[in-house]
Amino acid sequence: MLLVTCPWCGPRDETEFHYGGQAHVPHPADPAALDDRQWAEYVFYRENPKGPFAERWMHATGCRRWFNALRDTASYRILATYRPHEPRPSPQPVETPTAPPSPGDRRAAGSSGGNR
Ligand SMILES: [Zn+2]
């Protein structure tokens, strides 16, 4: 059973919560100026990362307040929860590419070490 920490009520069972989609999606400044494609992208298009992802959740059977959660989509582990006006905590940067340069660096270091 997964425990979700409501920022107002504390840890509660996951069955008390409803998922609300991606957090921090900015509302268009001038919605009437958008064409159909731009409006569809605002309404329907969401990121789908593997790893930390900021989401909206609602404590449906508790305080009924919305809050944000930073959840790892690969492990389902909730890394942090925070109130909507608070900035997103970043235990790991979400937007950085996950291609690690370290294996190449390690190989280069190992080959140069082997040549000496
Ligand atoms: Zn609550």
- Residue 33 CA to ligand 1 centre (angstroms): 37
Position 11 scores a pLDDT of 97
- Residue 57 CA to ligand 1 centre (angstroms): 10
- 7-17 per-position pLDDT tens digit: 999 999 999 99
- Residue 6 CA to ligand 1 centre (angstroms): 5
pLDDT over threshold 80, residue 97 = no
| pLDDT class of 95 with cuts at 50, 70, 90 | very low
CATH number of the domain where residue 54 is located: 3.30.2270.10
Position 91 scores a pLDDT of 66
- Residue 7 CA to ligand 1 centre (angstroms): 7
**Domain count across the chain:** 1
Tell me which residue range forms the domain holding 30: 3-115
Tell me the average pLDDT across 57-82: 96
What string of DSSP letters covers 19-83? Answer: EEEES--PPPSSGGG--HHHHHHHHH-----SSEEEEEEEETTTT--EEEEEEETTT--EEEEE-
